[in-house]
Structure 1
Amino acid sequence: MNVITKSVQLPDGRTITIETGKVAKQADGSVVLRMGNTVLLATVCAAKDAVPGTDFMPLQVDYKEQYAAAGRFPGGFTKREGKPGDNEILTSRLVDRVLRPLFPSNYHAEVFVNVMLLSADGVDQPDALAGFAASAALACSDIPFECPISECRVARIGGEYVINPTFEQMKEADMDIMVGASAENIMMVEGEMKEVSEQDMIGALKAAMAAIKPMCEMQVELSKELGKDVKREYCHEVNDEELREQIKTECYGKAYDVTRQALDKHARAEAFEKILEDFKEAYAAAHTELTEDELEEKCAMMDRYYHDVERDAMRRCILDEGIRLDGRKTDEIRPIWCEVSPLPMPHGSSIFTRGETQSLSTCTLGTKLDEKLVDDVLDKSYMKFLLHYNFPPFCTGEAKAQRGIGRREIGHGHLAWRGLKGQIPEDFPYTVRVVSQILESNGSSSMATVCAGTLALMDAGVPMKKPVSGIAMGLIKNPGEDKYAVLSDILGDEDHLGDMDFKTTGTKDGLTATQMDIKCDGLSFEILEKALMQAKAGREHILGKLTETIAEPRAEMKPQVPRIIQMEIPKEFIGAVIGPGGKIIQQMQEDTGATIVIDEIEGVGKVQVSGPNKESIDAAISKIRAIVAIPEVGEVYEGTVRSVMPYGCFVEIMPGKDGLLHISEIDWKRLETVEEAGIKEGDKIKVKLMEIDPKTGKYKLSHRVLIEKPADYVERPARRERGDRPERGERRQRPERGGDRRQRQDRGERAPQRPSLGDIMPQENNEPKDFNDSLDKMDF
């Protein structure tokens, strides 16, 4: 084995080690990354040739977490890892978005990147290391790749930027950003913040770049040492430069004219498509010598070349004339209209439309039983705020069936969730679910989800701290030119043909989430700052439209919303409320129609009572309070006789709390039996709590003190006055009975002996008689 190990230090002194040549050697490239007790294996394999007809980069990135890494069993019936969870999909997307732009544009072979978590102690966060491991595996292979990259997490803790913080450190962070970059350029940013400023975010990006640069340099050294700095040759495209130039000459002017016409999405697409179809028809008519297969091959080239023509026409129109595809200025927002409560029965609903992008969102409020269980390898918790994003094909006019949820839906929904979740109060008792149905799409449907979600939450009466809006920014910058344009509220085509897709969400006081993908080289921090400030102005404009529609959360929830009341009970009463096997709590729910959930949090019982109406909730609360109430000496209770004994009866004065009503405390007159008082099981009787035994906690009750004392009543004397009892430590003096044994021995007297069995049983001739006969004659 040719094992090579490289390491790099983080700013706080922790070390990340990369090892290759020991395991998974049949892959094109493989490394084992180690940081503390966290270990990841990354492998990469690429096909030698491209599938015919492929004109895109078929890259597949899979991040998987093994439950054995943390010493856990997977849940479910099969007890093995299954389909990837949301956390694994989101991490895969983070890696994919950084790697994809760095493959050559004419490289179309299938590439599979697998990153596997093999060991984790719950201290370091493995998702921040996945991008570094994947790029290092590519550096150890001969797969064509522009330059190594790495990823790191940046958190701001106590005003300081921390690289790759631990799980424990993240509890104190007000910023959580994942950054992917090469040694020179930022490629990807995604994260959430607690209303931080744009300058704070720029500072986090600079800290990330400083940490990533040595990681990339280390990969270059590793590649050279393995002899993998020279990449494999490939030929996945056949080009015709003469045809490329012909298309540019004949189609560029026409495409530029369409760009300036400010058409809507479908009309513009049809106009662009007609230019290409006309060229193909003319070309086929002029080249009748070509066979059908040769003409088909030429048409595939035309599609690629014309895409570049469209791209150049759009970019030059913006850079030279400041005219966008829909006729807007670079900082102009499309027309917006909003509506709340378009649907009668959801707890909250809204429609948000910005240009040709539209989201119909609903908000549903549930109880604690509706919380989502997160069962990841390193995270087992419950989630109270859920946001789901759906992107049906009809929203873009596509005629195809809707399949299951894809990675795109999960990623876009997660970004919107990050943008909104910080504005829902932590003590809000409801579980909240927002669902965004995208009905139209032409640019930034995830940001439309944030805006529609804000409206739906406020329509449902969720007491949001502040409303949140979102916007997507674009960038046009040609290599070698100083001229650039930052675009507000980008269209789908501007995203596809542009150099940046930069989404930000925030309140009036700061950023709450961001996602940025950059496709160009040399993006300066000056351009980033300009984009952030222009985005802030756009967000504030959109926020004004939202607050015009609904200024603040509704004071009253809709009638169909289940009501919830929260209360706290002492920890020691949790078992009493639940009862053996849940018997008491189930009976309370059956009697009242309410739902009762109890959790122990920080040594206190947190009780959540929900029900369809106020009456059922009040009934359940009264029953719970009766259980947890503590009886007080001197208080009068109306109790229920639970059992009758010869010496008295037991009376339940509170649920689960019985006291003894002694026979002498029933009435002023002397009773020989409890039945004389006419008391039987199930009777109601008023009693007064006279005493609580400090040792046993037993309750002493009295009924007679609640009735008038007879005038001729004479208190019976106690059997023994307390003063007659000997003090502790004194011997009890027995009455004089001829002196004790020692005195009798001094007088020479013999102490009387107890009779033996032989004395009691007379014998004749010293022969034992029948024992039963003897007993019959005995006088006991």
Structure 2
Amino acid sequence: MLRKIVSKTITLPDNRVITIETGKLATQADGSVVVRMNNTILLATVVAKEGPEEGFSFFPLYVDYQEKFAASGKIPGGFLKREGRLGDHEILVARLVDRAIRPLFDDSLNIEVQVNISLISADSDIAPDALAALAASSALAVSDIPFNGPISEVRVARVHGDWLINPSSSLMPLADINMIVAATEDGVLMVEGEMNEVQESEMVEAIRFAHEHIKVHCQVQREFMEAVGMQKRSLQSTATLTKAMYDPALRQAIYADMYAVAKKNIPSKRLRKEAFLAVETNYSAQLSTNLAEEEVSSVHQGEFLLDIQNQAIRDLILNEGIRLDGRKLDQVRHIESEVDYLPSAHGSALFTREETQSLTTVTLGSKFDEQIIDRVTEDGYNRFMLHYNFPGFSTGEIKPNRAPSRREIGHGHLAMRALKSVLPPDEEILYTIRLVSDILESNGSSSMATVCAGSLALMDAGIPIKSHVAGIAMGLITDPVTGRFAVLSDILGEEDHVGDMDFKVTGTCNGITACQMDMKVAGISYEVLETALLQAKEGRLHIFQKMVETIDVPRLQRKEHAPSIMSIEVEKEMIGAIIGPGGKIIQEIQKETGTDIDIVEKNNVGIVTIFAGNQNTLQKALSRVNAIVSKPVVGEIYTGRVKAVLKYGAFIEFMPGKDGLLHISEVRHERIEDLEQVLEVGEELQVKLIDIDYKTSKYKLSRKALLPSKEAAKAASGG
């Protein structure tokens, strides 16, 4: 059977081309495409179950992204030598795709859908993450799975003032804005990125620029769909609960009581939950009667009640500007913070925003603690890590402690990007830095609490960050019929659940450092986006000021128990002398002083970095290294150790790694018949360096030069 191959191309502003093709690979999937840009090639497939299923309280969409090591001609590291558990980088790319496409599936769709994206060919200058959502959307577009797309996703960056779409990887270190933007033709769906303290207007400009190019991608996908000609399947979801199943009067009564509870301004999440549950209990008998008559499952009953509760909360905000806890729309919750909470940590901070709390620690390590990066498209080391933990007890739930979830990995990555830009350059801070945020309570925006706590902890640890970084999460409630909307500052967990947007913004007092926006509806207007950003700035600066009141500048001195680190430059030729034959000398220094020493060659000099548990051991190791790299000076007196005794003289190690000859004639003024009767191996003695043969690097020593002459000795004895 001949395969029908269909392809379309997208031309970028710099005339580079993206090709989308279907019909050649993985044709037994419901939809499959190959997306190519230069030598970067992605294979995306989608598969969906045949019919709707019961038991899902959420849309069962699964998105996986995997990079094949063969794509760049590499063999995986480790023992197994095969691709295993997805790495954090792959999970983060999968989250980008999931967050972009999830809002465009109908709420009533209750079938399992799986999207698999594989990097099958890598180009070191073309980042695949900016193509992954385009590949997923294209695969959905040519499948029979109902999907309200197409969408696309691009990286937008600003380099030397110029806006670029999907720029080459070599240009990214020069960018002051680096964002991934996903959108439909009509509105923005998802934004994530990092910036170098930019203004809100610049961020909006970047999103607008990205969106204009995404529109072109979407139009090409529509042409792609037409060329393939696939018809979408028709599905009737059993999870769809029509309001006609229940008595309208009963529904109105429940709504009125739910609205009244929402309006009580109950400050505690637990008490609010109990109040809403009391309304459900009050109507349980009537609901059960109706349930039996209509043969509606208890799952549908729960969805019905939750739908009413959510609608009541949304209407209260839109109609009266009242939030569940009584705050104004732009009001931030009460904040408390403190530093140096844990006496044994190198730095720590406790940040509490009402019912959201982060305990964050800083640990300082050496170069040997760096994270090894072994990816398909990247190798190297990472000296700044941030890990985010979200245990079940933080929300009063039971959850086994297992590997970090995708959410935990994503939140930690966002907080890391937020703080990264305020760290000093590597040459100014030699430590490997690990932050760990343990969420002890959570009621909305724990990732932003992590940013705030992380900034405080870094200052407590004495890391000279240039400014605090504060973070805030914004929410949105919209009415598509009337066009009304309300932007909420510092959202609660319930507001996140019922709202249409979760927009996290972090920054210093000078500008934005990172952002993450997820839409739960199909797109957002620029009017709403600009309103949210300006309102976020007000809230962020309020939080920033609260942090400054706790600690305003980094500590000048690190904790007494914090490790010490120092780096010195030595001549390139001295590297071998410090290391010694087979590493003997450097290993000896490390063992005797209890330090870790790293030596690298950079810019034709040797960089020696010493990492010690305290200042005393650091100084001991530094003295040993300085002794090795110091140049012998003719006329200087040294304390040496006898290494070997021969008939004609002795070899003395007068400096670490440097041996000189003490000739038998230079030991005493008197004649010596047998030198072994005068000197023994291991003996310490003072010698004077009297000559250097620079061609052969041979050193001539004298002990006689330090002793009084025969005449002087005789006179001193009275003879």
Report the TM-score range of the alignment, normalised by the length of the smaller protein.
over 0.9
Deviations 1:12-50 (A, max 9, x none): 111111111111111111111111111111111111112
Distance 1:281 1:250 in 2: 14
Which residue of 1 is the match for residue 160 of structure 2? 158
Counterpart-to-counterpart distance in 2, 1:641 and 1:21: 81
2:335 maps to a residue whose letter is I
1:666 deviates by 4.0
1:692 aligns with 2:692: yes
**Alignment partner, residue 281 of structure 2:** 277
Question: Are residue 253 (structure 1) and residue 252 (structure 2) matched?
Answer: no
Measure the CA separation in 1 of the matches of 2:454 and 2:177. Answer: 22
1:280–1:299 contact (8 Å) kept in structure 2: no
1:181-215 Cα offsets, whole Å, 9 max, x none, are 11221100011111111111111111211221111
Structure 2 CA distance, aligned partners of 1:370 and 1:139? 46
> Partner of 1:73 in structure 2?
75
* Residue in 2 that maps onto 1:423: 422
2:333 counterpart letter in structure 1: R
Query: By how many angstroms is 1:299 displaced?
Result: 3.6
Q: Which amino acid aligns with 2:372?
A: L
Equivalent pair of 1:128/1:152 in contact (CA under 8 Å): yes
Equivalences for 1:110-509 in 2 at 5 Å? Answer: 110-228=112-230, 230-237=231-238, 238-243=240-245, 246=248, 248-263=251-266, 264-285=268-289, 290=293, 295=295, 297-426=296-425, 427-509=428-510
CA-to-aligned-CA distance 1:452-501 (integer Å, 9 cap, x gap): 11222222222221111100011112113332211100111111111111
Write the distance in 2 (CA, Å) between the matches of 1:285 and 1:522: 40
Distance 1:253 1:8, change over 3 A: same
Measured after TM superposition, the shift of residue 287 of structure 1 is: 7.3
| 1:532 alignment partner in structure 2 | 533
Give the conservation status (yes or no) of the 8 Å contact 1:244–1:302: no
Structure 2 CA distance, aligned partners of 1:556 and 1:341? 13
Determine the C-alpha separation between the residues in 2 that align with 1:379 and 1:338.
Answer: 38
Shift in Å, 1:711: 6.6
SS at match of 1:171: helix
In the TM superposition, what is the alpha-carbon distance from 1:641 to its structure 2 partner? 2.7
Contact 2:117 2:135 in 1 (8 A): yes
Q: Distance in 2 between matches of 1:305 and 1:211?
A: 41
**What residue identity is the alignment partner of 2:386?**
L
Judge conservation of contact 1:447–1:470 (CA < 8 Å) in 2. yes
Match of 2:715 in 1: none
Find the aligned partners of 1:121 and 1:298 in 2 and give their Cα distance.
Answer: 52
- The CA distance in 1 between the partners of 2:291 and 2:136, in whole Å, is 47
Q: State the AA in 1 paired with 2:111.
A: A
Q: Which moved more, 1:605-614 or 1:503-512?
A: 605-614
* Residue identity matched to 1:699: Y
Partners of 2:172 and 2:614 lie apart in 1 by: 41
> Counterparts of 1:646-661 in structure 2 under 5 Å?
646-661=647-662
Q: Partner letter of residue 268 of structure 1?
A: R
CA distance in 2, matches of 1:344, 1:637: 45
| 1:36 aligned residue | 38
Shift of 1:697: 2.2
Structure 1 residue 514 displacement after superposition: 0.5
Please report how far the alpha carbon of residue 637 of structure 1 lies from its aligned counterpart in structure 2 after TM superposition.
2.4
The verdict on how the C-alpha distance between 1:148 and 1:429 changes in structure 2, with shifts beyond 3 A counting, is: same
**Matches of 1:199 and 1:642, distance apart in 2:** 73
Is 1:319–1:484's contact at 8 Å kept on the other side of the alignment?
yes
Q: Structure 2 vs 1, CA of residues 213 and 584 (structure 1 numbering), >3 Å: closer, same or farther?
A: same
Structure 1 residue 681 corresponds to structure 2 residue 684: no
Opposite residue 441 of structure 1, the aligned amino acid is: S
User: 1:604 and 1:417 mapped to 2: Cα distance?
Assistant: 32
- The unaligned stretches of length 5 or more in structure 2 are 713-719
When residues 308 and 283 of structure 1 are mapped into structure 2, their CA distance, relative to the original with a 3 A threshold, is closer
Distance 1:703 1:12 in 2: 76
**Map of 2:642 onto structure 1:** 641
Cα root mean square deviation, aligned: 2.1
| Offset, 1:278 | 2.8
Q: Answer with 343-352 or 508-517: which moved more.
A: 343-352
Q: In structure 1, how many angstroms separate the alpha carbons of the residues matched to 2:251 and 2:350?
A: 42
Distance (Å, rounded) in 1 between the aligned partners of 2:604 and 2:169: 24
What secondary structure does 1:56 align onto? coil
1:576 corresponds in structure 2 to: 577
**2:580·2:657 contact (CA, 8 Å) conserved in 1?**
no
Check whether the contact 1:663–1:673 (CA below 8 A) recurs between aligned residues. Answer: no
Give how far 1:364 is off. 1.6
Counterpart CA distance in 2 for 1:429 and 1:126 is: 32
1:245-272 superposed Cα distances (whole Å, 9 cap, x missing partner): 6254222221211121111212222222
Q: Deviations over 1:383-408 (max 9, x none)?
A: 21211111111111124434331101
Instruction: Give yes or no for contact 2:183–2:523 (8 Å, CA) kept in 1.
Output: no
Cα distance change of structure 1 residues 440 and 636 upon mapping to structure 2, 3 Å threshold: same
1: distance between equivalents of 2:357 and 2:271? 18
Preserved CA contact (<8 Å) 2:158 2:177: yes
Greater RCO, CA 8 A, separation 6+: 2
TM-score by length of 2: 0.94
| Count of residue pairs the alignment pairs up | 706
Q: Contact 2:357–2:449 at 8 Å: present in 1 too? A: yes
Query: Sequence identity of aligned pairs in percent?
Result: 51
Distance in 2 between residues matched to 1:268 and 1:667, nearest whole Å: 96
**Residue in structure 1 matched with residue 716 of structure 2 by the alignment:** none
Mapped to 1, the partners of 2:105 and 2:47 lie a distance apart of 14
Q: Which has the larger radius of gyration?
A: 1
- Mean Cα displacement is larger for which, 409-418 or 610-619? 610-619
Instruction: Give 1:673 shift.
Output: 5.8
- Distance across 1 between alignment mates of 2:221 and 2:594: 64
Equivalent-residue separation in structure 1 for 2:523 and 2:136 (angstroms) = 23
Q: Quick one: distance in 2 between partners of 1:538 and 1:286?
A: 46
2:300 maps to a residue whose letter is M
- Residue 15 and residue 286 in structure 1: after superposition, are their counterparts in 2 closer, same or farther (change >3 A)? closer
* Farther off after superposition, 592-601 or 77-86: 592-601
- What code does the residue aligned with 1:277 have? T
Give the Cα separation in 2 of the matches to 1:581 and 1:564: 25
CA apart distance, 1:342: 2.5
1:515 is matched with: 516
Residues 573, 628 of structure 1: 8 Å contact kept: yes
- Matched to 2:157, the amino acid is A
* 1:719-751 Cα deviation digits (max 9, x unpaired): xxxxxxxxxxxxxxxxxxxxxxxxxxxxxxxxx
Q: Is the 8 A contact 1:322 1:329 kept in 2?
A: yes
CA contact under 8 A between 2:562 and 2:614: conserved in structure 1? no
Where do 4+ consecutive residues of structure 1 move more than 6 Å? none
Distance 1:600 1:245, change over 3 A: farther
Cα-to-partner distance string for 1:320-344 (whole Å, 9 max, x where unaligned): 2111111111110111111222322
Q: What secondary structure does 2:483 align onto?
A: coil
Contact 1:244 1:305 in 2 (8 A): no
Q: What do residues 501-544 of structure 1 show as CA deviations (whole Å, max 9, x unaligned)?
A: 10011111111111001123452222211211111111111111
